[in-house]
Amino acid sequence: MLEERSAGTVIYRQSPQGKLYLLLNYPSGHWDFVKGNIEKGETFKQTVLREIREETGIEDITFVDGFEDKVEYHYQRDGQVIHKEVIFFLANTKTSKVVLSHEHRDYTWLNFNDALEKLTYKTAQNIFKKIKDL
């Protein structure tokens, strides 16, 4: 079975209405956090910083210490089953402006409950729920 590894992050910013979380709409239709494949020689956090820059244009990122989690899933590409692992961190930014790349269809900043509802996959929701307790 093919193995794929990505790294991603829950990103939030403070607004007058409280914390808002960034979700992206992927070409296959799902809503998820920023993530991307790990390139050779990168640490997980280097991947995340690069992906945030490429996928959102956001440059100011502060990781929240002590949060790291993982989701696993299988999907099919060209008839091959792929086992994928994604390591997730938590980070905040002061930037609200998002400049999307061609890799995504849309983005949104939502409060916790709306973001939880918008996330397509249970695995992502489970990670997100742990963040609320932090």
Q: Does 70 bind ligand ATP (CB under 6 A)?
A: no
3-class SS of residue 79 = coil
CB under 6 A: which stretch of 14-22, 42-50, 67-75, 105-113 binds ligand ATP? Answer: 67-75
Residues in the chain: 134
Rule CB under 6 A: is residue 124 a binding residue for ligand ATP? Answer: yes
Joined tokens for residue 60: 């100011």
Judged by CB under 6 A, which of 2, 15, 30, 81 binds ligand ATP?
30
42 belongs to the binding site for ligand ATP (CB under 6 A): no
Choosing from 67, 84, 108, 110, the residue that interacts with ligand ATP (CB under 6 A) is 84
Assess 75 for contact with ligand ATP (CB under 6 A). Answer: yes
Are β-strands 31-32 and 62-63 bridged in parallel, bridged antiparallel, or unpaired?
Answer: unpaired
Cα–Cα distance for residue pair 50/57, rounded to 1 Å: 10
Please tell me the chain's helix, strand, coil percentages from 3-state DSSP, rounded to the nearest 5.
Answer: 25, 45, 35
Q: Which residues bind ligand ATP (CB under 6 A)?
A: 6, 26, 28, 30, 32, 35-37, 71, 73, 75, 84, 121, 123-124
